[in-house]
Every structure is written in C-alpha cells, then in structure tokens.
C-alpha cells in the first residue's frame, strides 16, 4: 500500500508532466515540499509564485494539482473503507452516534489519522464554542454598561411622546384623511365623467338618443368643460387656489431624498414597524356606521348569490361591555382597563395553578388580556425574585414590540428596563429586565448560548395554536428542559381548538380556561357551490352594499393577482352603477404592496360610504382593521409546501381549514355584531375542510432547524419529541445535506464547520457559502449576495401599468455570470448612491426590501466576525464569487440535456426551466447553479449563475463523480485523475 508521501509525489509528478511536458527531479521534490507545507490551495499558489514565478499559468496548475491531491488522498482512504461505507453513510444519516464504528480489518496510518482528525476537529469545535460563550458574556457586559445611557432612554422617551402625540394627532389625522379623500374623489369623478361621455359618444353613436338622454350628455359635457377650464385657469394664472396634485405630472415629486437619520441602521424598518404599532393602537372608526340606509335603491343586481344562514358564532361577554365607542374606552384609567379584562377575575386562581403545576395550558380567546396580564400577575406573585425573568414568546415582531410597550406603560416603567423586548436586529432589554417579550425564533437562538435557559423562571409560549416552525421546535426543547429543571414553569397559551392536543403532549398538563370577549357573528353559507370565487366575491360585495346596513367589508383572497383582478372588476361595476348606489371605497392590501398604499387601509371610512378591504391572509392574523362588520370568505388561501423527494417548493391555492375559516369569521365581530358570508356550502365546511391547517414544520425544508438542534446537542433527530413530527424524508434530506456540506461527520456528530454554520440564521447551504467565501477572497461580495437572496425575490417592483419600464430598468442590471452577480450589482449601486430612496424609485426597486437586505447584511457581517472569518473584498473576482457560491450550493446544479434544449438536475434528473425573470433566460448556459426550485405554473429555477463543471469536483469531490460531468471537455482536469476518481463513492469532505 502506497504511503501518503509516495502518493503525493506521484500526483505532483503527473501534474508537472501534463503542465510542462517533462518532469525534472529537483522541481518535483521542491513542489512536493511546497505542497506539504501549504494548508490551502491559495497558500500553495503564493508559494509557487514566489519560488518559480513566470513559469506559466500558476493558478490553473495549482488548482488542478490541489484537486488531484484531494482526490487521491480520498482514494487512498476509500480503499480501506469501501466494505462498510454504505453502512456508515446511513449510520451518519440516522445519526445514531451510539453506533460504534465498525472495526477495520487492517488498522493503518491513514484511518488512524482520520480518527485523529475527527477527535481534533471535535476538540476544535468545542474550543470554538467556548470562545463563543466568552464573547456572549462580554457582549452582555457591554450591553449592561451602555444600556441605560442611550437606547432605552430614547425608546422610552419616544414611546411617551407618541402617547401624548396620539391624542393630538387624532383629529388632525381625520381632517387630513378627509381632505385627501376629497381630492382623490374629485379626480376620480372627473375621470368617470370623461369616461361616461366617451362611452356614450362612441358606443351608442349608432342608436339615436332620446331627448332626455341628449340633454344629460350635453350637461355632462358642460360640467367637464367647466372643471377643466378651472384647472387650466389655475395653471395659467398661477393663482394659488386649492391645489390638487396631478396624477401624471411629476410622479416622483413627493418623494424626498433621505436625510441622515434615515441612513442609520434599521431606520426604515423601524419606522414601518412603528407605523404598524401605532395603527394597531389607534382605534379609529367611522362613527356613524350604524346609520340605517335612508332609502331603497331600485338597483337590480345582475346576478345574486343565494345564502343560507347556518349558525352563528356566539359572542362572549359582549352584553356588559358598554364601551363600544373606542373613545370612551380611552377614558378609563389604566387600572380600570386592567380590571375590566375577562382574565382579571381569574388572577388568583391562575397564580395558584402555576404554583401547583409545572406545565399549564392556557386556553383563551383573543381579547382576554392574557398576553399582557399573565406576566404581570406572575411578577406580582414573586416569580421574578432572585433576578429570574418571565419570558413570553410571540410569533411576530410587531406583536412583541407593541405588547411590551403596553405592559411597560401599565407598570409605569421605561420600556427596556424592567419590561423589554428582543427581536431580530433589535434588543431592547437590560440586566434589569424581568418581563421579556420576544419572537419565538429569538428564544430559539437564546438556546444556543444558554441551553438550560437558567435565567428564566417562567416561559410563556403565546399564540401556540399558530404552530409556526419556531414554536413547534420550542415545544420539544422546552419539554426537554422542564424535566431536569423542576423550578421552571411553562405556560402554553392557545386558542380553543388545540388545547387538548397540547395537554396530551405535555404529559396531560391541566388546561386553564379563560373566556374571551367577542361579539356574535352570524355565518351564512351559499346554497350551492360557486364556480368562480372572484366573481362570486364581487357579486356578494355589491349585494351586501345595497342590502345591508353600513359597515365595512373584509374580503379574503389568496394572492396579489386575485386581489388586483377583483379590484379591477369592482371598480368597473362601480363606475357603471355609480349614480345608483352609495359610494364604495375599495382598498387592497397584501404584504408586497408598498407601505404607503398599505396604510390607506386604515384610513377611516368617510361618513355615508362603505369601505371594502380586499386582503390576503395578512388580515387573518397579522393586522387588525377596525370597523369591519362583514367578512366574505371564499375559503381559499395560498400555501407553501416542500417536497423532500424533489427538493422543490410549491406555492399553490388550497382550501382553508375549519380553524382558519373560524379565525376569518371572527374578524367580523371585533367592534360590533357582524356577519360572515362563506362562499362555500355548509356541507363543504363539514366534510371537505380539514380541522386545522397542516403545521408549518411539516411543510418546509428543515436544513437550518436540524443544524440548530444538532448544535444544541440533540443527536437523534429522527426520534426527537416533536408535537407533530416532520416527514421522515424531510429530516433525512436535511441530514444528508448537512453531511454533504461537511457540517456533520460520518458519525453524525457536529463538526467544527457545522458549529460555525449554526451561528448563521440562514439555510445551511448559504452559511457554507459564506464560510467558503473566505478562501476565495471575496467574503464581502458573498455577504451582499446572501443578504440580497434573503429578501425573498421581492427586490424588483413591477406595477402592472408600468411593466415595460420596470422590465427595462431590470435589464440594466444584467451582468455576465448570472443573477447572483446581478443582485450584487444592484446592492452596490444602491450603496454608492448613499442608500437613496430616490434611486430605488427610479430603478423600480423596492426600497423596503433593500433596507432589509442592508440590515441582514449588517447582521451577517457581525456573525462573520464572531465565527472568526476574515472579510476580504475583490470585486473583480467573478470566478471566485461563483466558486464560493458553488461550494455551498453544489446540490443545486442543472445542465442542458443533450436532447431537447431543456435543463435537468444532476442528481434527480428532473426537467427544470429557467425562470423568465432570470438574466440568463435567453442565454441558456450548459451548466448552471440555481438558488431555489419552485413549482408555480411550471418547475422553475430562480436565481441562477453559470458555472464550470470542473468547479464541482473542486468544491465537492465527495459528492460528484467524474462520470456525472464527463461529457463536457474540462480544460482544468487532467484525464488520468478523472479516471481514478470515477471510482469514488461518497466520502466525508475534509474542511
């Protein structure tokens, strides 16, 4: 058996020969010496260049030499391991770390050295973890030192100011909004008039008009003429009259260049969130919404949906609530408000129950006050003595912030001192904090630095019924630590449906019921199924509008496209019927809508009019719109699901669950008794809808979650105590990927690389790419690319009416190499323009997304420093950047098939298409790497770069056999090495 040294010399000789055409003995020795001295391909290049500069293409020589060495090293190793390789492979996947490695028949230096390396790697991993802990301690100290001085004071001041301001702005806000509304209405009416005239002239010019009709037409023309003259006069004479901004004059005029405060980190996001919080607090509604309709309209609806009332959702506690008027509620003192909450009478009972039981399930409707009150009760009962904290998790950032602010006010302390919150990009707590609100993902991250959560005496997992990925993982972890920390109390708070399930999971924990506060909602079903839910929605809206008393309508549609369509139809119908019915204010809302248009949803409805809000699921939980009396629910939503076999995500329209349908109808009963119109039959509700939505954990890729669990020391992932276990295939795929990326070794143990990867809150492939970027000297660039990829394809804004402009603007960013480099270019240009908002608008780029990308980038940059990766930048290194990407995403490669001009993935041979938005759509490169695979109308690859197949062998020789890339002529791979490595099967990558 050849020794390592002989083997090395042999490989060097081969490469030298193919490089120079001959082998000189001294050179051979010298290069072999350099190889043994070098720790990476880059250092080898440096050495070679230093010693024998000018001998030709040093880079490609070294690259190919290094590859051959890696391959031959592996070949040596596999010779001993082939027998039990498969067993080991699966052992690693199942991560039964107890299983001992099968004894080698022949113990020898290579396998021993591998064992040594493993021990060394594990040792280094643990040392690394220790260093991280030390850093964390240091960080806490720093926070403690700086905390009081700056941010908390400011935050508290800010909130106090807002509180005072709110009282002042309210009347102004109303006037302002009324004024805006009138301005817009004038424009609308004019357009309408113009349209009418045109219609009548063009459409009916062959039918003679009656006298009355002719007179009306003439009248309309006169009115229009006056209106136009008026505008013209104002323009000409420059008389400052009532000014109305023009629709198509200077569209960008109103946008202002960012000032310095805006450039500060988080500014845009913070403002947006503050806006949301503010809106959530304000309860502005139309005062006279209960006014009955004065007259009967002689409108005959073209079509009608027939509804039958089936049941009504009972209201709770609503009779004794007199303060329907939100302004009356404001007058109550904080103390009175607290006492009026449904939870108040149960205070003592609850405290007793927490004393008696370790785990308690709280079942309570929204509006019972559980989120704000329970932590305070526990504080009163002494659970925060001895510096211990009460922690409360929320699924959403805005909720964590606003609830913390509310509780701070109730306890009259500064936000960030005794009461604080912690969310990504923002930690508003101090060493004094005893009640801490946080997002569930944040608590999960805390597990990494404090696995026993020793600083908490009580943990409340709120909104558990929402079953987010993070809460589901928390359940298992929290159940686990509760076993060896009997002093830790757990409260799981959930809506009615799931309480029993949680109770069973937590070893039959008692359920504590708290009544909510809600108005009754009548529920109507259609008599027969509706074929086209969009037109059924439109008809129902109009039906409600003409037959029902005033009150706003909320419509749930699955996505942006449906919403736009519905709005369009509705506007058209309204135009036709405008003289025959009351005014209808149409307001769409979905997450990708620009912020200012989102805010319009919250504007109070003008007196006598009716607002109809057409929303996605965003209105189901994330935001609450006041004044909604009617809900229209077609019963569909878009849902993401991940197929582990194909690695493909799909976003498809599916029927909602019963739980979700009830949640939606509940939206009608928040301010007064309401009605919910379901556009499906009662039978369908009973028999066709699932009880609950499939929890997220069973629908998503688990890569990051598994890595996190691994780094918490949970080795047996497949048997982890999940409330609902994710599909077996999903877990196996995640483990397989982590193994291939080098985050786990062949025994399923976390490696040093894996420990580093776990620090990043991104997909493992991306964290690998980030870490690998160091050796290609382009970590700055890869950092930017990662951040841009994280903002979820919402960078480019493409309004329907300016689609062509938007496309041209996008085309300007096209870069050779592919989409990742295009994203880099976008970010860099934006940064060069001083992160300007104006620049974004001109280039049809979403400012909000870019700001998010900047925040993500800052965070990742901090983490790079934390895991001891040097930041280097080389913008010219286009190949290096793509190689770095490849070393993370070598799983995601497709190549053009020989027949038919379509791409197929390398491993599973699926046909996949380049997304038409890609910059490489027309080029169709032979080899390409994709960021993600999504099934929409077809199987598309999104975010693509072109790669050279030889890179695959370079970055992932353990994963790719040479056979798989053989049909391309690879310049960099000498043939003999190719043959040798063709024998390779999977082995553990050395990193």
Yes or no: say if 822 and 813 are a contact pair by the CB < 8 Å rule: yes
Yes or no: say if 830 and 796 are a contact pair by the CB < 8 Å rule: no
Structure tokens at 494: 């959930």
Shortest Å distance, C-beta 743 to DNA: 16
Shortest Å distance, C-beta 618 to DNA: 4
Cα–Cα distance measured from residue 731 to residue 735, given in angstroms and rounded to the nearest whole number = 6
Cα–Cα distance measured from residue 499 to residue 464, given in angstroms and rounded to the nearest whole number = 9
Instruction: Return all residues near 10 (Cβ < 8 A) that are at least 6 apart.
Output: 2, 72
> Which is nearer to DNA, 110 or 616 (by Cβ)?
616
Shortest Å distance, C-beta 653 to DNA: 9
CA angle, residues 686, 691, 697, in degrees to nearest 5: 155
Secondary structure of residue 771 in the 3-state scheme:
helix
Shortest Å distance, C-beta 622 to DNA: 4
| Number of neighbouring beta carbons within 10 Å of residue 328 | 10
Yes or no: say if 609 and 583 are a contact pair by the CB < 8 Å rule: yes
Shortest Å distance, C-beta 92 to DNA: 25
> Which is nearer to DNA, 637 or 977 (by Cβ)?
637
> Which is nearer to DNA, 255 or 796 (by Cβ)?
796
> Which is nearer to DNA, 659 or 952 (by Cβ)?
659
Helix and strand counts by DSSP (H, E) for the chain: 35, 22
Shortest Å distance, C-beta 640 to DNA: 3
Cα–Cα distance measured from residue 110 to residue 161, given in angstroms and rounded to the nearest whole number = 69
Question: Which DSSP string do the residues of 298-353 spell out, in sequence order?
Answer: ----SS---EEEEEEEPPBS-SS--TTSHHHHHHS-HHHHHHHSTTGGGHHHHHHH
> Which is nearer to DNA, 12 or 697 (by Cβ)?
697
> Which is nearer to DNA, 828 or 936 (by Cβ)?
936
Alpha-helix residue ranges (DSSP H) falling in 82-108: 85-94
> Which is nearer to DNA, 51 or 897 (by Cβ)?
897
Structure tokens at 758: 């776990």
Q: Considering only CA atoms, which of 374, 362, 445 is closest in space to residue 403?
A: 374
Q: What residue ranges bind DNA (CB under 7 A)?
A: 395-398, 423-424, 439, 441-442, 444-445, 468-470, 558-561, 590-592, 616-618, 622, 637-640, 651, 704, 761-762, 790, 792-794, 798, 803, 807, 916-917, 921, 934, 936-938, 940
Cα–Cα distance measured from residue 406 to residue 209, given in angstroms and rounded to the nearest whole number = 65
Shortest Å distance, C-beta 518 to DNA: 23
Shortest Å distance, C-beta 600 to DNA: 15
Question: Which DSSP string do the residues of 217-283 spell out, in sequence order?
Answer: HHHHHHHHHHHHHHHHHHHHHT---S----SSS-TTTT-----HHHHSTTHHHHHHHHHHHHHHH--
Shortest Å distance, C-beta 848 to DNA: 11
Yes or no: say if 282 and 327 are a contact pair by the CB < 8 Å rule: no
> Which is nearer to DNA, 544 or 563 (by Cβ)?
563
- Give 222: exposed, middle or buried? Use CB within 10 Å, 0-12, 13-18, 19+: exposed
Alpha-helix residue ranges (DSSP H) falling in 682-724: 682-688, 703-711
> Which is nearer to DNA, 370 or 397 (by Cβ)?
397
Instruction: Return all residues near 621 (Cβ < 8 A) that are at least 6 apart.
Output: 466, 663
Shortest Å distance, C-beta 781 to DNA: 20
> Which is nearer to DNA, 530 or 763 (by Cβ)?
763
> Which is nearer to DNA, 696 or 948 (by Cβ)?
696
Shortest Å distance, C-beta 803 to DNA: 6
> Which is nearer to DNA, 246 or 938 (by Cβ)?
938
Give the CA radius of gyration of the chain: 32
Dihedrals φ, ψ of 710, to 5°? -60, -45
> Which is nearer to DNA, 409 or 592 (by Cβ)?
592
The sign one gets for the Cα dihedral 611, 617, 620, 625 is negative
Shortest Å distance, C-beta 565 to DNA: 12
Shortest Å distance, C-beta 276 to DNA: 9
């Amino acid at each position: 058996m050849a020794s390592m040294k002989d083997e090395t010399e042999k490989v060097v000789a081969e490469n030298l020969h193919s490089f120079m055409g001959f082998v000189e003995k001294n050179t051979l020795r010298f290069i072999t010496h350099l190889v043994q001295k070098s720790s990476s391909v880059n250092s080898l290049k440096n050495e070679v260049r230093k010693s024998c500069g000018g001998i030709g293409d040093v880079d490609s020589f070294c690259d190919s030499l290094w590859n051959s060495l890696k391959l031959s090293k592996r070949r040596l190793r596999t010779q001993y391991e082939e027998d039990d390789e498969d067993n080991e492979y699966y052992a690693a996947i199942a991560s039964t770390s107890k299983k001992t490695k099968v004894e080698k028949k022949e113990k020898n230096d290579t396998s021993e050295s591998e064992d040594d390396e493993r021990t060394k790697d594990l040792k280094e991993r643990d040392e690394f973890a220790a260093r991280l802990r030390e850093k964390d301690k240091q960080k806490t100290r720093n926070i403690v030192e700086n905390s009081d001085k700056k941010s908390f004071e400011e935050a508290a001041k800010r909130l106090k100011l807002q509180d005072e301001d709110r009282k002042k702005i309210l009347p102004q806000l109303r006037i302002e909004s009324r004024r805006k509304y009138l301005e817009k209405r004038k424009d609308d009416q004019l357009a309408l008039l113009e349209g009418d005239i045109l219609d009548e002239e063009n459409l009916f010019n062959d039918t003679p008009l009656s006298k009355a009709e002719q007179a009306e037409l003439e009248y309309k023309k006169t009115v229009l003429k006056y209106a136009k003259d008026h505008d013209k006069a104002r323009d000409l004479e420059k008389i400052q009259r009532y000014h109305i901004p023009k629709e198509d004059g200077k569209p960008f005029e109103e946008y202002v260049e960012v000032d310095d405060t805006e450039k500060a980190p988080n500014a845009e996001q913070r403002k947006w969130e503050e806006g949301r919080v503010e809106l959530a607090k304000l309860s502005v509604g139309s005062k006279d919404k209960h006014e009955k309709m004065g007259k009967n309209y002689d409108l005959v609806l073209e079509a009608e949906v027939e509804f039958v009332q089936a049941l009504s959702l009972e209201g709770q506690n609503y009779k004794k609530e007199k303060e329907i008027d939100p302004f009356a509620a404001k007058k109550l003192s904080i103390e009175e408000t607290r006492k009026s909450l449904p939870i108040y009478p149960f205070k003592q009972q609850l405290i007793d129950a927490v004393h008696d039981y370790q785990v308690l399930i709280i079942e309570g409707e929204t509006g019972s006050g559980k989120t704000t009150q329970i932590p305070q009760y526990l504080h009163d009962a002494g659970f925060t003595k001895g510096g211990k904290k009460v922690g409360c998790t929320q699924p959403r950032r805005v909720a964590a912030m606003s609830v913390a602010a509310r509780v701070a006010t109730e306890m009259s302390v500064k936000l960030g001192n005794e009461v604080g919150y912690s969310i990504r990009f923002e930690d508003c707590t101090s060493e004094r904090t005893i009640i801490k609100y946080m997002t569930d993902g944040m608590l999960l991250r805390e597990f990494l630095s404090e696995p026993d959560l020793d600083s908490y005496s009580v943990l409340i997992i709120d909104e558990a019924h929402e079953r987010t990925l993070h809460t589901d993982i928390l359940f298992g972890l929290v159940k686990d630590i509760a076993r060896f920390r009997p002093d830790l109390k757990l409260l799981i708070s959930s809506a009615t449906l799931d309480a029993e399930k949680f109770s069973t999971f937590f070893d039959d924990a008692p359920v504590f019921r708290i009544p909510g506060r809600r108005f009754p909602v009548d529920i109507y079903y259609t008599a027969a199924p509706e074929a086209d839910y969009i037109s059924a929605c439109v008809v129902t809206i109009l039906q409600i509008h003409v037959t029902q008393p005033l009150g706003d309508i909320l419509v749930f549609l699955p996505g942006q496209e449906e919403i736009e369509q519905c709005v369009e139809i509705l506007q058209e119908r309204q135009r036709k019927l405008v003289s025959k019915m009351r005014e209808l204010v149409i307001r769409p809302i979905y997450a990708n809508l620009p912020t200012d248009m989102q805010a319009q949803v919250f504007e109070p409805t003008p007196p006598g009019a009716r607002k109809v809000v057409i929303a996605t699921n965003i209105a189901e939980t994330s935001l609450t719109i006041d004044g909604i009396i009617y809900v229209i629910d077609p019963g569909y939503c878009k849902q993401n699901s991940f197929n582990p076999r194909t690695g493909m995500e799909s976003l498809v329209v599916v029927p909602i669950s019963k739980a979700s349908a009830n949640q939606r109808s509940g939206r009608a009963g928040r301010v007064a008794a309401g009605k919910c119109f379901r556009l499906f039959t009662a039978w369908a509700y009973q028999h066709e809808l699932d009880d609950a939505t499939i929890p997220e954990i069973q629908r998503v890729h688990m890569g990051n979650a598994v890595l996190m669990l691994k780094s918490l020391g949970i080795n047996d992932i497949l048997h982890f105590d999940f409330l609902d276990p994710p599909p077996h295939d999903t877990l196996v795929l995640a483990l397989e990927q982590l193994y291939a990326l080098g985050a786990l070794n062949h025994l399923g143990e976390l490696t040093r690389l894996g420990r580093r990867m776990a620090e990043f809150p991104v997909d493992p492939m991306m964290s690998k790419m980030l870490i690998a970027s160091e050796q290609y000297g382009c970590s700055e660039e890869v950092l930017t690319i990662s951040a841009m990829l994280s903002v979820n394809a919402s960078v480019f804004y493409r309004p329907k009416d300016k689609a062509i402009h938007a496309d041209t603007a996008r085309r300007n960013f096209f870069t050779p190499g592919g989409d990742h480099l295009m994203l880099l270019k976008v970010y860099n240009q934006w940064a060069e323009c001083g992160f300007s908002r104006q620049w974004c608008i001109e280039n049809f780029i979403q400012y909000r997304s870019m700001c998010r990308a900047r925040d993500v980038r800052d965070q990742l940059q901090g983490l790079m420093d934390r895991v001891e990766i040097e930041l280097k930048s080389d913008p010219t290194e286009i190949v290096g950047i793509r190689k770095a990407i490849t070393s993370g995403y070598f799983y995601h490669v497709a190549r053009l098939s020989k027949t038919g001009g379509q791409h197929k993935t390398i491993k599973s041979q699926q046909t996949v298409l380049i997304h038409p938005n890609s910059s490489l759509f027309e080029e169709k490169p032979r080899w390409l790497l994709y960021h993600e695979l999504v099934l929409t109308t077809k199987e598309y690859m999104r975010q693509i770069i072109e790669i050279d197949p030889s890179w695959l062998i370079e970055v992932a020789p353990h994963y790719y056999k040479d056979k798989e890339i053989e049909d391309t002529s690879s310049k960099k791979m000498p043939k003999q090495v190719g043959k040798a490595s063709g024998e390779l099967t999977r082995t553990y990558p050395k990193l």
